Structure 1
Amino acid sequence: MKKCMMKVCDLVCPEKKQAFSNVSLSRNTVADRTCDLATNLYDQLMEKGKDFVAFSLAVDESCDASDTAQLSVFIRGVDSNLCVTEELLGFKSMHGTTTGKEIFEEVSKCVTEIKLPWDKLVGLTTDGAPAMCGKKSGLVGMVQEKMREENCAGELTVYHCIIHQEALCAKALKMEHVMTTVTQVVNFIRAKGLNHRQFKSFLEECGSEYADVPYHTEVRWLSRGKVLNRCFELREEICQFLETKGKDTAELREQKFLCELAFLCDISSHLDALNLQLQGRGRIITDMYAAVRAFKTKLCLWENQMLQGNPCHFPCCQSIKAQISTAVFPCAQFAEKLSVLAAEFSQRFADFDAQKCKFELLSNP
């Protein structure tokens, strides 16, 4: 980086070359600068926190690559001018157990350090784990107990992360057998270096527009849709490659499997599009809830269309249906899947439905 900047300096501002050469990039200097930036940001957050009339917390606990539990605490506060501040409040490594009590202690420490009063806490979002949402020994129960001890008059609204809920809804489809087969195929191609190199060369020889198949990772919700779509597009090339390796491809060529793969590709693409709508900074819950309600309405429309044998919103299904007999394509089965998915959305988002009046007041005063 420094060598590059020196060359730029020679052309752009040679008189400043000495100033650039004096910049220290040692490990200690860079670490100190990072600490100074972090301290400054924290001080700014504390200053803004004094003006908060209300704030909410979002808490998530997940293991990293070394199996250490990492607890992240985000804060969103609003002042009297309706200026919203959204920031990472704390990031704690938990080397022992991660019970509700221990999580609460870390969250309580974050709130206390920034000198925020508990009576201004109005919302708490968790990842839905028992240690988080338990009414007595979980984080939610302990926060509510803490607010009672502090004689807080306000009501605490508790949510299960809306993006996580949406990802969990997909499990109601019960099409793991298709995903398992696809994952096994991808792992066979990607797990061994020789197979992977040969497959990429094979795709190049075939003149395919795709150069590879991606891995599927359970914790990366969007990876499933990407893997399914790529495998569907490359289904013929994958079968040919597996046959050169002496693998049985009878299941991959079955009409029933291809229909299920096409349906799973399409519905995963729709779910991924919704997931992306729910992500990002500055998203407010009324917009997110509106996106979920719109998706539930779409599911009803798609179910009716599927019952009529019209998969117009499912391009992969249309592609397969054109290749096989219309009578073979299981429209009724897929319509039932869409009905089950709609019911799962209604059940999982029942706590959001209970807040419908408040959302409508905020979105349309």
Structure 2
Amino acid sequence: MKHHDKYKDLDMTQRSQKVEEMKRSLVSQQNMFKKATSQSEAAVKASYIVAAEIAKSARPFNEGEFVKKCTMKVCDLVCPEKKQAFSNVSLSRNTVADRTCDLATNLYDQLMEKGKDFVAFSLAVDESCDASDTAQLSVFIRGVDSNLCVTEELLGFKSMHGTTTGKEIFEEVSKCVTEIKLPWDKLVGLTTDGAPAMCGKKSGLVGMVREKMREENCAEECGSEYADVPYHTEVRWLSRGKVLNRCFELHEEICQFLETKGKDTAELREQKFLCELAFLCDISSHLDALNLQLQGRGRIITDMYAAVRAFKTKLCLWENQMLQGNPCHFPCCQTIKAQISTAVFPCAQFAEKLSVLAAEFSRRFADFDVQKCRFELLSNPFAVDVENAPTNIQMELIELQCNDTLKSKYDAVGAAQFPRFIPDTMPQLRTQAAQMLSMFGSTYLCEQLFSSMKMTKTTHRRRLTDEHLRSILRISSAQSLSPDIDELASKKRCQVSGLGTSD
């Protein structure tokens, strides 16, 4: 035996003591190893957490080195005995860049896993140019699973270095859908802006998506109301209401300032101009208020449709009141009307403008009007006229409306949450609810992402690669999902790194 000569002279008591001593030594070594492993894994988790925060704040990757420098100085004062543990957190530029890609990949993998259970999904697609004049295409997905839970995330972000024709945009969108392994027959809605490359009936994205669904034999299965109707809302209205109101309030001061500069202000002081400025201020403020109602994440299409319907009704009211010389909902107009002759204030002219605006709203949102019956199934299924409902859901709808327990649940949780409580014995109603819940009402998420993009990819950050930009935006836009840092850290080979190194 290896240690025979060393321990042969020990009696039984001494041997027992030696065994216990060796056991304690082994446990101590094991604990030290576990502690080192735990500290190393904690350091990796910390670097992932910091990398995620850097990505969310659109800061450069080398900000990690600044964060670490600050952390070490704080550590020297607050807990100097922990200095080595803080030093082990690698936050070099390369490490933060790698961590950012890992986090984004983890989010995409989670989205793919979620997608396996989607029973319906919609897409929001838009395109914009970054600081280097490169076209960037963003694709958001809103999917609903069998439990009627909504997942709203960035599906794809593509730098398009060539042209951006409808065909090329479609190819990228198609690639996004294919990579996540979603069948086209579950596509319910497509939301874009009004650009020809997006909305063209033949060569635009919308037309090509329709053709793709026909090729996949989706039209008969989904029904023309889903295969043929794109949902698009222009959300690039300028928030000019407040600026115009400020100009209106400071009109006299502005004129005085221009006069000190030798400028002619006769036109600015004309009553006709002042009336038109007042009307523009008021209607812009009303449009801004509607715009805010249509923005935001997780918005339900029925709520947005209700806001649009309400605004159309308001336009009719305002038109009638304006014809009667009563601009009671137009405060700037009231101010000017009180200052000039009533006969001079162009009520009929402004009523005509309101009429034209109402007609434009009817044209723009005609697609939504087609879906009115199905929207009501989600917003208030207990008030839907069964005889006017699609025949495939009439029997289930009767059962629903006669169920007092479900009616009480609807009253308690509201329209947005109620679909989850529709029993499995009503599969057609659940399917209808899933399709409605999956719809986008605007390209707001794309616009919000482009704002983040412009903060991230600036003229001073031209070294940022397409992959890194895509990873940053996936992390910063994540809402329904969050990176599984524990999983990432457990997969990462834990190595203690010094300041300024990458692992």
In the superposition, the TM-score normalised over structure 1's length comes to 0.77
Choose the corresponding residue for 1:149, options 215, 220, 233: 215
Alpha carbons of 1:320 and 1:215: their partners in 2 closer, same or farther (altered >3 Å)?
farther
Indicate conservation of the 8 Å contact 2:123/2:141, yes or no. Answer: yes
Contact in 1 for aligned 2:241/2:281 (Cα 8 Å): yes
Q: State the partner residue of 2:165.
A: 99
Cα offset, 1:23, TM superposition: 3.2
The answer to whether the Cα contact below 8 Å between 1:77 and 1:84 also exists between their aligned partners in 2 is yes
Does the residue aligned with 2:297 lie in a helix, a strand or coil?
coil
Q: 1:216 to 1:282 in 2, by over 3 A?
A: closer
Indicate yes or no: 2:156 matched with 1:90. Answer: yes
1:149 Cα deviation from its structure 2 partner? 2.3
Q: What's the offset of the Cα at 1:6? A: 4.8
Q: Over residues 29-48 of structure 1, what are the superposed CA-to-partner deviations in whole Å (9 max), with x where a residue is unaligned? A: 22112111101110110010
Q: Distance in 2 between matches of 1:45 and 1:252?
A: 56
Distance in 2, Cα, partners of 1:206 & 1:54 = 11
Give per-residue Cα distances to partners, 1:297-338, cap 9 Å, x unaligned: 111111122222221211111222222222222122111111
Deviates further, 220-229 or 123-132: 220-229
Residue 325 (structure 2) pairs with residue 259 (structure 1)? no
Correspondence 1:1-365 to 2 at 5 A = 1-6=67-72, 9=75, 15-151=81-217, 221-365=237-381
Aligned residues of 2:201 and 2:207 also touching (Cα < 8 A): yes
Instruction: Select between 71-80 and 245-254 the one with higher mean Cα deviation.
Output: 245-254
Q: Distance in 2 between matches of 1:144 and 1:208?
A: 10
Deviations 1:5-46 (A, max 9, x none): 456556765654443344333221221121111011101100
Once the 2 structures are TM-superposed, how far is the Cα of residue 348 of structure 1 from its aligned partner?
A: 1.5
Residues in 2 aligned to 1:358 and 1:4: alpha-carbon distance in whole angstroms:
56
Is residue 242–residue 249 contact of structure 1 (8 Å, CA) maintained in 2? Answer: yes
> 1:79-114, CA deviations, whole angstroms, 9 ceiling, x for partnerless residues?
110001011111111122111111111011111111
State the 1:150 CA deviation.
2.2
**CA gap 1:339/1:208 in 2 versus in 1, 3 angstroms:** closer
Q: 1:68 to 1:206 in 2, by over 3 A?
A: closer
Structure-2 separation of matches of 1:216 and 1:294: 18
Deviation at 1:292, TM superposition (A): 0.3
Q: How many residues align?
A: 313
Of 52-61 and 4-13, more deviation after overlay is shown by 4-13
The 3 A distance-change label for structure 1 pair 346 and 40 is same
Question: What CA distance in whole angstroms lies between the structure 2 residues aligned with 1:226 and 1:262?
Answer: 12
Is 1:216–1:223's contact at 8 Å kept on the other side of the alignment? no
CA shift in 2, pair 1:347/1:213, >3 Å: closer
Q: How many Å apart are 1:139 and its aligned residue?
A: 1.5
Post-superposition shift, 1:129?
Answer: 1.9
Change (3 A) 1:89 1:330: same
Q: Deviations over 1:147-175 (max 9, x none)?
A: 22223xxxxxxxxxxxxxxxxxxxxxxxx
Secondary structure at the counterpart of residue 226 of structure 2: coil
CA contact (8 A) 2:239 2:288 kept: no
* Cα pair distance change 1:206/1:49, threshold 3 Å: closer
The 3 A distance-change label for structure 1 pair 207 and 300 is: closer
Go from structure 1 to structure 2 and tell me whether the alpha carbon gap of 1:361 and 1:102 turns closer, same or farther (over 3 Å shift): same
Q: 1:135/1:113 Cα in 2 relative to 1: closer, same or farther (>3 Å)?
A: same
Q: 1:21 to 1:220 in 2, by over 3 A?
A: farther
Q: Deviations over 1:244-293 (max 9, x none)?
A: 22222111111111111111011000000000100111111111110000
- 1:216–1:227: 8 Å Cα contact kept in structure 2? no
After superposing the two structures, state which structure 1 stretch, 73-82 or 14-23, moved more. Answer: 14-23
1:214/1:282 Cα in 2 relative to 1: closer, same or farther (>3 Å)?
Answer: closer
State which drifts further: 35-44 or 141-150.
141-150
Q: In 2 relative to 1, CA 50–218 (structure 1 residues): closer, same or farther, beyond 3 Å?
A: closer
Shift of the 212–112 alpha-carbon distance from structure 1 to 2, 3 Å rule, reads closer
Checking the alignment, whether the CA contact within 8 Å between 1:214 and 1:226 is kept in structure 2 is no
2:128 alignment partner, SS class: strand
Deviates more, 1:225-234 or 1:38-47: 225-234
In the other structure, the counterpart of 2:8 is: none
In structure 2, the CA distance between the partners of 1:213 and 1:228, relative to structure 1 (3 Å rule), is: farther
- What CA distance in whole angstroms lies between the structure 2 residues aligned with 1:320 and 1:358? 45
Specify the SS of the correspondent of 1:210: helix
1:123 Cα deviation after fit: 1.4
Distance 1:247 1:123, change over 3 A: same
Q: Please give the alpha-carbon distance, in whole angstroms, between the structure 2 residues aligned to 1:5 and 1:213.
A: 54
Q: 1:347 to 1:29 in 2, by over 3 A?
A: same
Q: Structure 1: how far apart are the matches of 2:317 and 2:247?
A: 27
Larger CA deviation: 17-26 vs 285-294: 17-26
Secondary structure, aligned partner of 1:81:
coil
- Aligned partners of 1:217 and 1:223 also within 8 Å: no
CA distance in 2, matches of 1:206, 1:251: 58
Query: Against the structure 1 CA distance between its residues 109 and 34, is the aligned structure 2 distance closer, same or farther, given a 3 Å change threshold?
Result: same
Q: Report the 3-state secondary structure (helix = DSSP H, G, I; strand = E; otherwise coil) of the residue aligned with 2:154.
A: strand
The answer as to whether partners of 2:185 and 2:221 remain within 8 angstroms in 1 is no
Residues 192 and 233, structure 2, Cα contact 8 Å, conserved in 1 = no
Shift of 1:224: 2.3
CA contact (8 A) 1:215 1:223 kept: no
Alpha-carbon distance change, 140 to 43 in structure 1, aligned in 2, over 3 angstroms:
same
Residues 106 and 44 of structure 1: is their aligned pair in 2 closer, same or farther, counting only changes over 3 Å? same
Higher relative contact order (CA 8 A, sep 6+): 2
> Structure 1 pair 210/222, CA: closer, same or farther in 2 (3 Å)?
farther
What runs of 5+ residues in structure 2 fail to find an aligned partner? Answer: 1-66, 382-503
